[in-house]
Amino acid sequence: MAELLRAGTITDFAAKGHLIVKISREEICVVSDGERFYALENSCSHMGSQIHRGDIVDGNIVCPWHRARFVLATGKSLDLYASDIKSYRVVVEADVIYVDPEPVSSPPAP
């Protein structure tokens, strides 16, 4: 198992409404539906918008550019014009939010 990455504290999350973790050139965003935290690839598979800027609606996050919808828990795309994005496991210990850098689900190889 890969070492968990520290995303920030719950207080940090409350201040920003999201957290970002970088793995080399990729970003992972931590977002929440108000009940639990989710970690997703922060680049939309359609044209690369930052996913964390999207709206959260009914268990999905909606891309701010062209409104593609992705399931928060899995990164699965619900729209044909966007493919799935990676999702990651989130661990909360005390006040700290960690992300496992190993994707839980990955889009299929092209």
105: contact with ligand FES by CB under 6 A: no
CB burial of residue 49 (10 Å; 0-12, 13-18, 19+): middle
15: contact with ligand FES by CB under 6 A: no
Q: Would you say 99 and 21 are in contact if contact means Cβ atoms under 8 Å apart?
A: yes
Q: How far is the CB of 48 from ligand FES (least distance, A)?
A: 6
103: contact with ligand FES by CB under 6 A: no
> Which x/- pattern over 28-67 shows residues binding ligand FES (rule: CB under 6 A)?
----------------x-xxxx-------------x-xx-
68: contact with ligand FES by CB under 6 A: yes
Q: How far is the CB of 1 from ligand FES (least distance, A)?
A: 31
Q: Would you say 61 and 82 are in contact if contact means Cβ atoms under 8 Å apart?
A: no
**105: helix, strand or coil:** strand
Distance CA 98, CA 8 (A): 7
| Residue 57, token pair as written in the block | 């609606």
Binding site for ligand FES (CB under 6 A): 44, 46-49, 63, 65-66, 68, 82
